[in-house]
Amino acid sequence: MVVANDLSSKILPRVLIVSRRTLRKNKYVDFVGEYHLDLIVSSGAVPVIVPRVNGIHSMLQSFEPIHGVLLCEGEDVDPSLYADAESSGLSPEDMEEIKKVHAEDMTIDREKDSIELTLARLCLERNIPFLGICRGSQILNVAAGGTLYQDIDKELGTTTTTTKHIDYDNYDGHRHEARIVEETPLHKLFEEMEIKVNSYHHQGVKRLAQRFVPMAYAPDGLIEGFYDPNRYDPKEGQFLMGLQFHPERMRLSGSDEFDYPGCALVYQEFVKAAIAFQKKQVSAAQMEMKRKTTTLVKSFSQAEFLEANTVLSKQQENRLQQMGATVRNSCVYMKRMKRKEEQERAMDKFSAERLSDLLSFHHMMARLCSDAIKRKLLEPEATDRTIESSFFLSY
């Protein structure tokens, strides 16, 4: 855990979290559970809340730089995003029954789906650290090409005597067993082969996307955790994991103490990856800046593109005459004109990007010179008098 005082002088990595909305006093309010925020902050990163509002999915590039993405709870993922109506085998009567039991969760939020799927795919494409909790793990699986059970009880045949995945009467206190797969990140974080996890869902992973490997199973066979083995190395900025349970809420009754140390470690390892990813991004940016600076310096070296040419062309002779060159001063005109023409030819060979860099360099030098002149003009009058006296003495 990172102490707050140690963070004051650091530029911390940014972890994006999409909000969830709820109806309060007849209007929608966006929120994110504080347990997530506390764990991100205490682990050494800055949580950046992405509001679940219309149109935000097309503005996500404005949230750059992104060093990590945490997706957590929410409503059911729109089934049309991963399967057709027939694939579930659920009848209209089944769907009506499910709605009666899970009315709040079955309210589809297409805007949130769009925002979170865009972010998940961005993480998959750019190797940005990603942690999915509950719905977030389902979004990750769908983004990578997997599918979901629209209702575990109906499709998997789970009963309350085997595994109960949601208990509205004992919401936070309910637990069920989860068997952890050996030699997986979850095994290393919890250091146990079997744990009791909380459960707040009626959907879950049906077909796991090909790139992922299971880390834990419920007694009924439902996948409770998965990861990408080719994208898991927190020290190197790699983290791609989905957990169906909520480690942030697995706490002893009436206490903030976690059921297992591994609950907090999940977030700490995720933030560790975000920090390493940020360092890599900064290093890459510095190397690119160095490369551009080197290229810029080389661009000003006339030795690279000027060629000796002492023979005047007909066009050069005509221009010399138009400029009023005489036998006495034609050599000076010739040298100036030749240098200008060669520089123009060299500039024509540059790409638009190179010319833009040159222009930026000149603007920067202009600002530096302007600042230097201002400093000179603002020097104490005593200094001016000394300089003035020295000038007259030397004169």
- What is the dihedral angle through the alpha carbons of 25, 27, 28, 34, rounded to the nearest 10 degrees? -30
Q: What is the pLDDT of residue 34?
A: 93
What is d(CA 202, CA 151) in angstroms, rounded to the nearest whole number? 5
Helices H, strands E: what count in the chain? 11, 13
CA 297, 289, 118, 223 dihedral sign is positive
Instruction: Work out whether strand 130-133 and strand 68-71 pair parallel, antiparallel, or are unpaired.
Output: parallel
- Are 148 and 141 in contact by the 8 Å Cβ rule? The answer is yes
What does the block give as tokens for 192?
């146990």
User: Collapsing DSSP states into helix, strand and coil, what is residue 268?
Assistant: helix
d(Cα 64, Cα 54) in Å, to the nearest integer?
19
Beta strand 176-180 with 194-197: parallel, antiparallel or unpaired? antiparallel
Residue 7, pLDDT > 90, answer no
**DSSP designation for 161:** T
CA separation, residue 253 to residues 11, 174, 250, 376 (Å): 36, 11, 9, 69
For range 238-266, the mean pLDDT: 94
Mean pLDDT for the chain? 81
Structure tokens at 338: 């030749």
**Is 203 in contact with 76 (CB distance < 8 Å)?**
yes
User: Which residues are annotated as catalytic?
Assistant: 134, 246, 248
How many CB atoms are closer than 10 A to CB 98?
20
310: number of Cβ within 10 Å: 6
* Nearest alpha-carbon partner for 204 in 227, 229, 228, 225: 225
> Which one-letter DSSP state was computed for residue 215?
E
- Burial, 80: exposed, middle or buried (Cβ in 10 Å; 0-12, 13-18, 19+)? exposed
| Residues 60, 111 contacting (CB under 8 angstroms) | no
pLDDT at 257 > cutoff 90: yes
Contacts of 275 (CB under 8 A, 6+ apart): 13, 44, 45, 67, 237
Give the model's confidence band at 315: pLDDT under 50 very low, under 70 low, under 90 confident, else very high. low
Ranges assigned E (strand) in the chain = 14-18, 20-24, 27-31, 46-50, 68-71, 130-133, 148-149, 176-180, 194-197, 204-205, 213-217, 223-227, 240-243
Q: Is the pTM of this model over 0.75?
A: no
Q: Model confidence at 306, in pLDDT bands (50, 70, 90)?
A: very low
Q: Which region among 118-132, 146-160, 330-344 has the lowest average model confidence (pLDDT)?
A: 330-344
Percentage of the chain beyond pLDDT 70 is 75
Burial of 149 (0-12, 13-18, 19+ CB in 10 A): buried
Contact of 111 with 53, CB cutoff 8 Å: yes
326 has a pLDDT exceeding 60: no
**If we measure between CA atoms, which residue out of 216, 320, 197, 339 comes closest to residue 260?**
197
Joined together, the tokens standing for residue 310 give 């002492």
> 54-79, pLDDT tens digit by residue?
889 889 999 999 999 999 988 899 98
Residue 146: pLDDT band with limits 50, 70, 90: very high
